[in-house]
Amino acid sequence: MAQHIMIDMETLDTATSTVILTIGAVLFDPMGSGIIEQIELRPTMDEQTDVYNRTISEDTLRWWSEQSPDAINEAMGDHDRIPYKECMEKLAKFCWNRKAVWSNGSIFDIMIAESSFAELDIKTPWQFWSIRDCRTIYELAGVSLKDGGHVTSHKAVEDAAHQAACVQRAYRKLYDAGFTHLK
């Protein structure tokens, strides 16, 4: 059933109070293949620091300086930016009433989204028991984000789609190994 969401964010810190550069979210069926729907969001950055005091880390800025010019432009360029609250409202609407929400590590992207929802007085669109961590299922199934020579693009929607594809591979491997109760 296509009721799972994968979220990926590019940010300027590793704290939950970070400035969010881009958000990618995809709707997918973990037992299927491919992506059903996707959303790509680019919140305004100045508003996040000036109005909401969201944080920027020197270590993260240094890390970004080591990325490709295309990745930097994608994450930090001004094109297609929308107000921070509108961005988070769109994410909440996209994620509303889904069976599960995934991210590559349950304490980064999802926690940043939840921090933003709370700050903006937006109801979190998932229940705490619906949070899933990709790294756990990857390890259990013996799959990796790097399978097939994949390189992380740091374009949030592309990374979310690739992470969802890895979850689908993991589900298939586990199902084939006898875990037929997976849904």
Cα dihedral value 113, 91, 74, 19, nearest 10: -30
Phi, psi of 76 (to 5 degrees): -110, -5
Asked if residue 34 is part of any domain, the answer here is yes
User: Which residues form the domain of 143?
Assistant: 4-176
Q: Which of 152, 2, 162, 9 is nearest to 87 (CA)?
A: 9
Asked if residue 111 is part of any domain, the answer here is yes
What distances in angstroms separate CA 149 from CA 38, 144, 145, one per listed residue? 24, 10, 9
What distances in angstroms separate CA 2 from CA 9, 33, 53, 125, one per listed residue? 21, 10, 36, 16
Asked if residue 150 is part of any domain, the answer here is yes
Asked if residue 183 is part of any domain, the answer here is no
Spell out the residues 6+ positions from residue 60 whose beta carbon is closer than 8 angstroms to its own. 11, 12, 13, 14, 18
Q: What is the C-alpha to C-alpha distance for residues 143 and 147, in angstroms, rounded to an integer?
A: 7
Number of domains in the chain: 1
pTM: 0.94
Asked if residue 182 is part of any domain, the answer here is no
pLDDT tens for 46-79 read 999 999 999 999 999 999 999 999 999 999 999 9
Q: Are 93 and 63 in contact (CB under 8 A)?
A: no
Question: Given this model, what pLDDT does residue 40 score?
Answer: 97
Asked if residue 81 is part of any domain, the answer here is yes
Here the CATH number for the domain that contains residue 80 is 3.30.420.10
Asked if residue 154 is part of any domain, the answer here is yes
**Average pLDDT rounded to a whole number, residues 108-112:** 97
Strand 100-103 to strand 4-11: parallel, antiparallel, or no bridges (unpaired)?
Answer: parallel
Q: Are 75 and 82 in contact (CB under 8 A)?
A: no
pLDDT tens for 120-152 read 999 999 999 999 999 999 999 999 888 766 666
Q: Are 143 and 168 in contact (CB under 8 A)?
A: no
Q: Give yes or no for residue 1 having a pLDDT over 70.
A: no
Question: Given this model, what pLDDT does residue 181 score?
Answer: 78
151 alpha-carbon distance from chain centroid: 16
pLDDT tens for 153-180 read 789 999 999 999 999 999 999 988 988 8
Q: Are 25 and 160 in contact (CB under 8 A)?
A: yes
Q: Give yes or no for residue 2 having a pLDDT over 90.
A: no
What tokens appear for 77 in the block? 């360029």
